[in-house]
Amino acid sequence: MTGATLQAIRYQRGSLDILDQLLLPHETLYISISTLALGHNAIKTMQVRGAPAIAIVAALTLAVVLVNPATAPRLTTAQGAVDFILESLEYLKTSRPTAVNLFDAAHKLAKGVQEANSEGVSGADMLEEDVKDNMNIGKFGAEFILNVWKGGNDLRVITHCNTGSLATAGYGTALGIIRALAGQGKLSHAYCTETRPYNQGSRLTAYELVYEKIPSTLITDSMASALLAQHSDKIAAIVVGADRVAANGDTANKIGTYQLAITAQYHNVPFIVAAPSTSVDLNIASGKEIHIEVRPEVEVTTLRGPVVELDSIARGAHAVEFKKTSADAVMTETIAVAARGIHVWNPSFDVTPAELISAIVTERGVVFKEDGVQSFDMKAFLSSN
């Protein structure tokens, strides 16, 4: 593995830059977030994505805006400052609805200012805490997999979506477990799914795995069952992240997670959810209460092509979009892959019922179901760990 780490979020007082994940893996471009509208837009358009990263960018956007001289007139009285912060948080919360981390961070920040509480969270603390949490998730998850694995040295895992350094402040959750196994020399191979329609797997996870020199193979989402049918004796676990875990353990995660959990159970392979405790929503009893974001049709009907030079674009049927970089204008080609006029359903997440989940790995340890019970007791776990 390389010593350098990928960084999705760069922050210092008054300045926030994020790696534009819409351009990866073709181009590495950091964009500056200096206003609430830019922060909101970066989250909504998925320039930054992944439950922890979304929450951190929202908090840091607010931190940057608060020290911007343009905001000063709103901050001349204590009440004016509180009102400004609460309004800003309400606005940032409208960017994406499913991952609870954003709402949890907004709630903690709002509580902090309302109670003038110096113990409230800050965006900078969140950056630091998240990396620590992820390293613990990696440690606990790797330990758990090594304990249950009876298959010898050829230990392989499958993961879905992107849960790595790009989805968090660093290291990652499910990908953190893969990093930990690889770091201990225990991983023989990682498979990552393409993760249609946004391709977080092929564009981002594959990029991280290659960057880290972890032996890995990309499969399309439709190949997972065939892979398990051929190699279930070599697959130690399917490891995924979470956007929201209900009190009973039902888990919302990237669309396609549910079908992976079904195939894992059929092939008798452990299905592991990895998430920080900030992804657990004790306010909801089950996954039925999770609001699933439905995203634009265009994400399914088109593929975003490589960034190409302006004059080498073949025009015609291809839609073309301009992206301004600091240096130059580059072009991203958007290629139609569906018949015009077809209706599209594009839910961004699905809910995996707790009964299909073998264990939930958090920074505080691993949660299991009681014998004979089909759900987790997340409240009991979090209050005793």
Q: Applying CB under 6 A, which residues contact ligand MRU?
A: 49-52, 99, 161, 163, 167-168, 173, 200, 241-243, 253-254, 348
**Where would I find the H helices in the chain?**
36-44, 51-66, 78-93, 100-114, 123-148, 174-183, 206-211, 224-231, 257-266, 298-301, 378-384
* Contact indicator for 370, 278 with CB cutoff of 8 Å: no
Nearer to ligand MRU, 158 or 331 (CB): 158
Task: Report, in Å, the least distance between residue 167 CB and ligand MRU.
Answer: 4
Cα gap 95→51, rounded to integer Å: 12
Respond yes or no: is residue 20 known to be catalytic: no
Q: Residue 268 region, left (φ>0) first, then alpha (ψ -120 to 50), else beta?
A: left
Q: Which of 243, 250, 281, 350 is catalytic?
A: 243
Residue 254: both structure tokens together = 């990237």
* Contact indicator for 195, 158 with CB cutoff of 8 Å: no
* Contact indicator for 62, 85 with CB cutoff of 8 Å: yes
Nearer to ligand MRU, 50 or 141 (CB): 50
Kindly tell me the burial class for residue 59, based on how many C-beta atoms sit within 10 Å of its own C-beta (0-12, 13-18, 19 or more): buried
6 DSSP assignment = -
Residue nearest to ligand MRU (CB): 241
Nearer to ligand MRU, 162 or 358 (CB): 162
Task: Report, in Å, the least distance between residue 134 CB and ligand MRU.
Answer: 8
Task: Report, in Å, the least distance between residue 30 CB and ligand MRU.
Answer: 19
Sheet holding 302-308, edge to edge: 302-308, 329-336, 319-324
347 DSSP assignment = B
Residue type, 186: K
Nearer to ligand MRU, 236 or 351 (CB): 351
* Contact indicator for 274, 179 with CB cutoff of 8 Å: no
Cβ atoms within 10 Å, residue 177: 30
Nearer to ligand MRU, 106 or 331 (CB): 106
Task: Report, in Å, the least distance between residue 204 CB and ligand MRU.
Answer: 8
Task: Report, in Å, the least distance between residue 230 CB and ligand MRU.
Answer: 25
Cα gap 167→184, rounded to integer Å: 23
Task: Report, in Å, the least distance between residue 127 CB and ligand MRU.
Answer: 14
Nearer to ligand MRU, 49 or 369 (CB): 49
Q: Which of 265, 241, 231 is nearest to 357 (CA)?
A: 265
Q: List residues with catalytic annotation.
A: 243
